[in-house]
Chains A and B, each alone.
Chain A
C-alpha cells in the first residue's frame, strides 16, 4: 500500500466537501439571527426602533424572541447594574449554542458615563461579548451595522469547530 494514501473518512474528514457545507450552514446561521429582547435602558428604545417600521430588522432575518431558548443572539441594550448582573448570566447560560452577544451602547461596553457604585463597568465582565457597539445611544443604523459585522464574523467561522469557551474580560 502506498505511504501517501489519504484516508478521507478518518483523518479529518473530506476537506473540500465540508468547507462548502460549512459555508452553507454558517450562511444560514448568519441570516437567521434571532435576538433575545434584552432591553435594559435607553438603548432598548433604539433597539425597538430598529425593529419597527422605518429600519425594519426583519430584512436581516433578525426577529426578537422573548425566550432565551429560541434565541441565537443577545443584544445587551443598556446599563447593566450589579443587581441585575446575576440574571443576565443566567439568561445567557439558558441560550442554546451557538450563541453570540452584541454589547450595545457605552453603558454595556464599559459602564459609560455611569461610573458609580451600582453599575457593572462593562457587560463583558459577566458574559463574553462578540461585538462592541459604541454610542450613547447608538442609532438604529449602527445596530444594524453591528449585526452585519457579526454576520460576516459568523460566515468566517467553522460550523463544526469544537465550541471553545469564550473569554471573559
Chain B
C-alpha cells in the first residue's frame, strides 16, 4: 500500500515496474543494493529467501544509466571517444579501442603498424590492470583484505605506465580513431619490461596466498556453477564462458590488430565454478605478460608512423598542420564539423577483459552516428544472476557477483 506523503510533496517515490512477488509461503524478500559495498556498483538485487537459501533473484539495473548511446547520436565521432572511457572504467582502453576499431572499419582505414603495436600493448596492459582489480575486489568481498592491498600495489605500477603514456590514470582515451596520438615516451619500453618481468612473481604470491587457502576454497569451490549449456544460453562471453569449458576468445576466433601474429594460449577450465574462473583469470594475466613480451621487439623494428594517412577523415600529423596551409584547413574542418563516414552499418566485436565488447554503428553519411549500440559483456553476465543465484546461500551472493566481474558503467551505459 502506498501512503500519500503530503508533508513532502517533492519527495521522489521509487517505482519498480515488472517486479511482482507472490508471497504465499514463508519466504522473505530482501533488498540487496543499489548501494551495497559488495554490489560492484549500483546493482540492486531483490532476493526471495527460504531460510538462508535463495529461491528467487531479480537483478534490477539502470541505476547508472547515463544515456550514453543517446549522447553518441549528438556527438561527432571523435567527441564520443572520451565517453567510452566511462563505460567499463576499469579497462578504459578496451572501450576506446572497440569504438575506434568500429569506426575504422566503417571508414575502411587501418592503423599503421606501430600504432597497432602500441594499441595492443595498451590493451594487454589494461587487461592486467582489470584482472588485478578483479582479484583485489573479489578477494576483499570474500574476506581476504591483504590480497586487496597487494593487488592494488601492483596495479598502481601498471597505472603509472599508463599515466606515463597518456597522462591519465583511469580514463585514458589513449586510442584514437586511426591510430594513437603519441609515440611511446623515452624509457617506457624499459619500464614495461621491468614491470612484466616482476609481475609473474607477484602473481605467484597471490596464488600462494589463495590457492590452498582453506577459506578461499570453501567460499569459491562449487559456488556459482555455470554449466556450458547455461553459459551459452545466457550469452556469456570472455572468462565466464571459458570458465565453463568453452574455448572461445575473439582474439583467436576473429583476430583483430596483431593477435594473429602473436603466440598465446587461451586458458580454459572445465570446473565451471568460481574457483576455476579464479584460476583462469590468473592464467590470463600470464598470457597477457607473454603477449607483452613479444610486442617489445616488434615495437623496436617498426616504422615511426602512428596515425593512418586518410586526409578525408584523419587530421594530418602536427608538423604538417603547423607548416602546410592545406593540412591546417583540413584539420579545422575535421575538428569543427567532424568526419563523415560513408553510409552503412558495422558491428565489431573485440575481446575486452570481461568478454565480448561489441560496437554497432549505423551511419547515414552525416558527422553523427544515426545509432550507436554497445554490446557490453557485463550486461549479459548480470542477467545470468537470476538463474545462477537460485539454490545458493545468501553468503554466496557476494562471491558470485564478485566472480562474474560485472561493472555497472557498461551495463547501464
**Bitwise interface map of B from 184 to 211 toward A, beta carbon under 8 Å scored 1, else 0:** 0000000000000000000000000000
Among listed A95-103, A115-123, A145-153, interface-contacting one: A115-123
Contact B65 A81 (CB under 8 A): yes
Contact B14 A86 (CB under 8 A): yes
**Bitwise interface map of A from 104 to 133 toward B, beta carbon under 8 Å scored 1, else 0:** 000000000110111100000000000000
Residues of A with C-beta under 8 A to B65: 81, 83, 118
Among listed B150-158, B285-293, B327-335, interface-contacting one: B150-158
A85-B12 in contact given A53-B149, A53-B156 (Cβ < 8 Å) = yes
Contact B89 A41 (CB under 8 A): yes
Interface residue tally on B, bucketed by range: 35 or more
Is B182 an interface residue when CB atoms closer than 8 A count as contact? Answer: no
Report the bound CA distance from A46 to B159 in whole Å.
11
Return the chain B residue nearest A86 by Cβ: B12
Contact B149 A83 (CB under 8 A): no
Interface residue tally on A, bucketed by range: 35 or more
Residues of B with C-beta under 8 A to A159: none
**Bitwise interface map of B from 26 to 68 toward A, beta carbon under 8 Å scored 1, else 0:** 0000000011110001100000000000000000001111111
Is B390 an interface residue when CB atoms closer than 8 A count as contact? Answer: no
Tell which of A45, A85, A88, A113 touches B133, judged by Cβ atoms closer than 8 Å.
Answer: A45
Give min CB distance, B64 to chain A, whole Å.
6
Contact B156 A49 (CB under 8 A): yes
Count A-B contacts at CB 8 Å: 101
Is B83 an interface residue when CB atoms closer than 8 A count as contact? Answer: yes
**Bitwise interface map of A from 42 to 75 toward B, beta carbon under 8 Å scored 1, else 0:** 1011101100111000000000101000000000
Return the chain A residue nearest B63 by Cβ: A84
Is A26 an interface residue when CB atoms closer than 8 A count as contact? Answer: no
A41-B408 in contact given A66-B37, A136-B171 (Cβ < 8 Å) = yes
Contact A114 B149 (CB under 8 A): no
Tell which of B14, B66, B159 touches A79, judged by Cβ atoms closer than 8 Å.
Answer: B66
Residues of B with C-beta under 8 A to A42: 85-86, 89, 170-171, 409
Return the chain B residue nearest A78 by Cβ: B64
Residues of A with C-beta under 8 A to B14: 86-87
Report the bound CA distance from A9 to B313 in whole Å.
79
Residues of A with C-beta under 8 A to B11: 86
Report the bound CA distance from A48 to B68 in whole Å.
25
Report the bound CA distance from A79 to B13 in whole Å.
20
Contact A45 B170 (CB under 8 A): yes
Is A91 an interface residue when CB atoms closer than 8 A count as contact? Answer: yes
Contact B83 A113 (CB under 8 A): yes
Residues of A with C-beta under 8 A to B170: 42, 45-46, 137
Tell which of A66, A87, A116 touches B67, judged by Cβ atoms closer than 8 Å.
Answer: A116
Report the bound CA distance from A42 to B12 in whole Å.
25
Contact A89 B12 (CB under 8 A): yes
A52-B66 in contact given A41-B86, A45-B90, A84-B42 (Cβ < 8 Å) = no
Give min CB distance, B70 to chain A, whole Å.
6
Tell which of B35, B83, B136, B148 touches A87, judged by Cβ atoms closer than 8 Å.
Answer: B35
Report the bound CA distance from A81 to B83 in whole Å.
16
Tell which of B42, B137, B152 touches A53, judged by Cβ atoms closer than 8 Å.
Answer: B152
A139-B150 in contact given A40-B42, A41-B86, A49-B156 (Cβ < 8 Å) = no
Contact B153 A54 (CB under 8 A): yes
Residues of B with C-beta under 8 A to A38: 35
Return the chain A residue nearest B12 by Cβ: A86
Contact B67 A117 (CB under 8 A): yes
Contact A114 B67 (CB under 8 A): yes
Contact A54 B67 (CB under 8 A): no
Is B82 an interface residue when CB atoms closer than 8 A count as contact? Answer: yes
Give min CB distance, B33 to chain A, whole Å.
9
Contact A54 B156 (CB under 8 A): yes
Return the chain B residue nearest A116 by Cβ: B67
Contact A81 B86 (CB under 8 A): no
Tell which of B12, B82, B150, B156 touches A113, judged by Cβ atoms closer than 8 Å.
Answer: B82
Tell me which residues from 1 to 24 in chain B have a Cβ below 8 Å from any Cβ of chain A: 11-14
Residues of A with C-beta under 8 A to B150: 53
Interface centre among B11, B14, B66, B71 (most CB of A within 10 A): B66
Contact A39 B41 (CB under 8 A): yes
Report the bound CA distance from A48 to B133 in whole Å.
10
Return the chain A residue nearest B60 by Cβ: A83
Report the bound CA distance from A44 to B41 in whole Å.
8
Return the chain B residue nearest A52 by Cβ: B152
Chain A residues with CB under 8 Å of chain B are 37-42, 44-46, 48-49, 52-54, 64, 66, 78-79, 81-89, 91, 113-114, 116-119, 136-137, 139
Q: Could you name 9 residue pairs across A and B whose Cβ atoms are closer than 8 Å?
A: A45-B170, A49-B155, A49-B156, A53-B156, A78-B64, A81-B65, A87-B14, A114-B66, A117-B67
20 more CB-based (< 8 A) A-B contacts, given A83-B63, A87-B14, A116-B71: A40-B42, A40-B64, A41-B408, A42-B85, A45-B170, A46-B169, A48-B137, A49-B159, A64-B37, A79-B66, A81-B65, A83-B62, A86-B14, A87-B35, A113-B82, A114-B68, A114-B71, A116-B70, A119-B67, A137-B170
Which 4 A-B residue pairings sit nearest by Cβ, starting from the closest? A52-B152, A116-B67, A42-B89, A86-B12
